[in-house]
Structure 1
Amino acid sequence: MSGLYARVARRPSRGHVRRVTPVPIERADGLTAVVYGQVERDFGMLAPPVSLHSPAPPVLAACWIVLRETLVAAGRVDRATREAVAAAVSTVNSCPYCVEVHSATMAGLLRSAADPAGDDQRRRVAEWARAGTDRTQARDLVPPVPAVEAVELLGVALVFHYLNRMVNVFLEPSPLPAALPSALRGGVRRVFGQLMARGARGDRPPGTARDLLPAAPLAPDLAWSSCHPTLADALARGGAAIDAAGQRSVPTSVRDLVAARLDDWDGRPTGISRAWVGEAVRDLPTVDQPAARLALLTAFASYQVDDQVVADVRAAGADDRALVELTAWASMAAARRAAGWVRVDPDAPASS
């Protein structure tokens, strides 16, 4: 996208964020300013799902590094197929904002392309991504693409398991104006998709964001990415930064509780009741219960986080940075667990 569009998009981008206050681009400095500059250059605009992280600069950098290296940077898989995975995972996670953005971007990228074989492949990839969100189904899945491509797509899935949760907590439900009449939404969505697709075209070299954060060892649960060194490096750096954020802002009792619940999680929705949250936190110290409620809901039912849940954490002393760090840790813990269910065997042939 043009620099003019990026500048015009900055103001509405801020307006999408709720419950925390992102750093305005004109007041950004240090690491935040560097990340903002890279996002506008490579993504075409200061995307709200990234800027919402700005109260916690290392987490902002982590979000951008993993998003860039999975969705944006050039790789073996075309951008439209990556967008198909982003939309599929976002649908399963009940994230209407991300469904809208990435479905529209994919449509914009494909609008002038008639490729039945490519369309069929994208459908199979999307079905694979959706099935991989269920632990029982994921065990038996065979990727519909070669292993290195599957690793790229699993990276996209991991990042959107993460971003869907953050977006549900901190963004409005749609990037389009809420007051827009339904009769106009289709046309506006098409124009929006064309603009997003314009920013998605063209190759961005991989690895250029890596030095935003220090090198880190690849955690064992991310070993599936090791056959793709650039992606593995991004996940290692970003994962380490978010783990450190959790150490700062998530009480030990809460981290232990979320980890225990993840051990029993099968990926399925929790349902409409939140009674399970109250039962889960009742044995924790009273001072830790607000953070535990927010962390559990973020990890397992982010669409159920409401203003009161966030207000209770603030009343216990959390500021914007702590809120971002707590929810980022819970979101990434769930995302890494879900990605770990999907088998990627470098020696296995792709399914037909």
Structure 2
Amino acid sequence: MHRRMVQSSLRGLSLLQVRHVKPVGFDAARDGVAQVYRELERDFGVLAPPIALHSPAFGPLAASWLMLREPMLVAGVAARTTKEAVAAAVSVANECPFCIRMHSAMLHSLAPGKDSAAIREGRLDQVADPAVRAVADWVRDGAVRDTAAKTRFPFAAEQVPELLGSVVIMHYLNRMVNVFLGAMPLPPGAPESSLRPVMKVLTWLLRSAARAEPKAGGTLGLLPAAALPADLAWAASNPQIAAAFARAAAAVELAGRAALPDGVRELVLDTVDAWDGRPPGLGRGWADAAVETRPAEERPAARLALLTALAAYTVDETVVDAARAAGADDEALIGITAWASLTAARAVGAWMYQPE
């Protein structure tokens, strides 16, 4: 009962953190949205803002939940400690302060010591646990295409779907979080002094949910079955993770097609294909130049998509407001950013997949 009371008290605070779009309220949620919200509290521990922010668009909402739940929350052959190290290291690579705080705190709660701080601060050579250091190095090197090509998995092959799945979902969520959430897991205006007690409560909820050991494949019914795309071949040896990512990819693709013209999606795909994983340039001038090839009415959405994919930390209200002024509502904003985020995340996962 105590856990449920705490979860209930945090629902409004979780949704207050979302900016640019209006998430569906817990009590107003129906059908699939209500199911995702209930499952978040049951299996993750809290109505997590990085997932709930997707609620104006059900397909991306369900997709983000499936991609998070199956590789990271379901107990498998990789330790949760290793997965949290992956999540923290990816978040550092993507400059996502919200996710860095959350996942380094969870890592510290699972493995007390200085390793979580070393990852959080980018001091990977000072990580004491050799297994954690190896996976953090793998994440760092894998974020860039040319170094990824020279990097091999520092773990058993059977762990690939869980750990590479954790990489891909975090590359995805980091982008969405940088666009739609602030730097700290607090509502706007909350004093920074409240962060420590809030984090203590959140990590307690997350750990209590982890002890319940969510069952593999338990939420796949949220989305229809789909074929696994070739670039997600790393998931194939785990049927539940493969099904989750196949269904999620199909749902996000539908949302992207609904929100973006074909020419804009082709522009983003071509740009990501040529991207090496490094920051594309200072400021946003590179994106402004790229969208000049599109008709004027398509440029705001194209700019939002490109920035979300390759430099989500540069997206601000001017970028979002321009897309909204060009006709994008809340559902379309989620569709644009989810599609762009997953396009980039899938690219990283593909170049990190180095089968023997």
The two structures have a TM-score, normalised by structure 2, of 0.91
Cα drift, residue 138 of structure 1: 0.5
User: Which residue is 2:46 aligned to?
Assistant: 45
The aligned counterpart of 2:66 is 65
Residue 300 of structure 2 corresponds to which residue in structure 1?
290
Q: Does 1:205 align with 2:215?
A: yes
Are the structure 2 counterparts of residues 62 and 185 from structure 1 closer, same or farther at C-alpha, using a change threshold of 3 Å? closer
Which whole-Å CA distance do the structure 1 matches of 2:58 and 2:293 have between them? 33
- Paired with 1:57 and 1:283, the residues of 2 have a C-alpha distance of 31
Equivalence map 1:50-129=2 (5 Å): 50-111=51-112, 119-129=129-139
Post-superposition shift, 1:186?
Answer: 5.4
Report the counterpart of residue 341 of structure 1 in structure 2.
351
The alpha carbon displacement at 1:151 in A equals: 2.5
Report the CA distance between 1:197 and its aligned residue.
Answer: 2.8
1:155 to 2:156 alignment: no
1:76·1:149 contact (CA, 8 Å) conserved in 2?
A: yes
Alignment counterpart, residue 135 of structure 1, candidates 131, 137, 145 = 145
What's the offset of the Cα at 1:190? Answer: 4.9
Deviations 1:192-247 (A, max 9, x none): 43443333334111100111101000001111211111111110000000011111
Judge conservation of contact 2:13–2:186 (CA < 8 Å) in 1. no
Maintained 8 Å contact 1:106/1:193: no
| 1:39-80 deviation line (CA, Å, top 9, x unaligned) | 111111110001100000121111111110011111111111
Q: Which residue of 1 aligns with 2:191?
A: 180
**CA 1:45/1:195 → structure 2, altered by over 3 Å: closer, same or farther?**
closer
Are 2:255 and 1:245 equivalent residues in the alignment?
yes
Q: Kindly indicate whether residue 310 of structure 2 is the aligned counterpart of residue 300 of structure 1.
A: yes
Q: Deviations over 1:10-42 (max 9, x none)?
A: 011011100000000100011111111111111
CA distance in 2, matches of 1:223, 1:291: 30
Question: Which has the higher mean CA deviation after the structures are superposed, 93-102 or 35-44?
Answer: 35-44
Task: Number of aligned residue pairs: give it.
Answer: 343
Paired amino acid for 1:46:
L
Partner Cα distance (1:198, 1:16) in 2? 23
Scaled by the length of structure 1, what TM-score is found?
A: 0.92
Q: Do the aligned residues in 1 keep the contact of 2:60 with 2:255 (CA within 8 Å)? A: yes
Do the aligned residues in 1 keep the contact of 2:149 with 2:354 (CA within 8 Å)?
Answer: no
**Identity of matched residues, %:** 46
Partner of 1:258: 268
Structure 1: where are the runs of 5+ without partners?
none
Paired position in structure 1 for 2:340: 330
* In structure 2, distance between residues paired with 1:199 and 1:271: 41
Q: Which runs of 5+ in 2 are unaligned?
A: 116-126
For the 8 Å contact 1:16–1:175, the answer to whether it is kept is yes
Task: Tell me the C-alpha RMSD between the 2 structures.
Answer: 2.1
Query: 1:179/1:5 Cα in 2 relative to 1: closer, same or farther (>3 Å)?
Result: closer
Q: Is the 8 A contact 2:44 2:210 kept in 1?
A: yes
Q: Evaluate the alpha carbon distance shift between residue 31 and residue 149 of structure 1 in structure 2; reply closer, same or farther with a 3 A threshold.
A: same
Amino acid at match of 2:59: P
Q: 1:57 is aligned with what amino acid?
A: F
Deviations 1:227-273 (A, max 9, x none): 11111111000000001111111111110000110111000112432
Partner of 1:219: 229
Question: 1:285-332 CA distances to partner (integer Å, 9 max, x unpaired)?
Answer: 111000000000000000000101111111111110000011000000
CA contact (8 A) 1:254 1:292 kept: yes
2:120: which partner in 1?
A: none
> Would you say the 8 A contact 2:15–2:23 is kept in 1?
yes
Task: Name segments (4+ residues, structure 1) moved above 6 Å.
Answer: none
Instruction: Give the AA of the match of 2:139.
Output: A
Aligned counterparts of 2:110 and 2:212: Cα–Cα separation in 1: 11
Is 1:109–1:194's contact at 8 Å kept on the other side of the alignment? Answer: no
